[in-house]
Amino acid sequence: MIHADAMKLVTAILLAAAILVPQSAQADHPPSQIVVEFGAAQPKGDLAADFYDTRLGLGAASGLELGFRWRYRFNDNFSLSPSFHFINYKDLRSTDPVVGDFRIPTSSFRYCLELMWVFGAADSGLRPFIAAAGGVYRNRVEGFYKTFEQVFDESVNTLGGSLRAGVQIAAFEVSVVYSVNRFATWRFFDTGFEEDYDWDNAGVRVGWIIPFGE
């Protein structure tokens, strides 16, 4: 089951894109931009919860995020950008008396559309912005069941969304982001039930803005 809030955010972004892109196709607009991004991602919910003391906890720690986007600018303030991001969380590493040393890697691939509004004049050196994104998240776990009787490598596709705020400084942008990543699945831990997972994360990103096209 797809989380309702993520579904609403994704639907709103897709509808806005469908309305705005055709209307602006023939209009004059600033050059597009390629943005290369990197940052840190802090797991929340079940992703960060203790592996031993919780039913669905994975024990992940803060990791690295890499991504890029093509930003179509309708004007100097408003833009739409398809993007790809990859988050690689720090693995849980532990030891069990039966299986010995083990680790549980967790990661997430994200294919999204983002709507952004940048405040201030185009020639300003410091421009605050806000953004909302939605799309498809592919969440992956490689590890053991809680009982250690079986190794698994499973992925789940779901809809997710994020809100972002930050500042553009010359050819760079710095932002904080919160992503909603919640889903229900039979995969991952074998409990005999379809389980609801909370894989939300917070993060910080730095982007390098590269002008592209005319």
Which residues in the chain land under pLDDT 50? 1-2, 24-26
Which pLDDT score is estimated for 163? 96
How high is the pLDDT of residue 15? 60
Residue 24 has a pLDDT of 47
- C-beta separation of 103 from 148 below 8 A: no
Query: Is 13 in a helix, a strand, or coil?
Result: helix
Q: Which domain CATH number covers 203?
A: 2.40.160.20
Query: What is the reported pLDDT for 187?
Result: 85
Nearest-angstrom CA–CA distance, 214 and 19:
23
Give the residue numbers spanning the domain of 76.
Answer: 4-22+30-212
Residue 6 has a pLDDT of 53
Domain count, the chain: 1
Q: What is the per-residue pLDDT for 44?
A: 96
Three-state DSSP state, 54:
coil
Euclidean distance between CA atoms 23 and 119, whole angstroms: 22
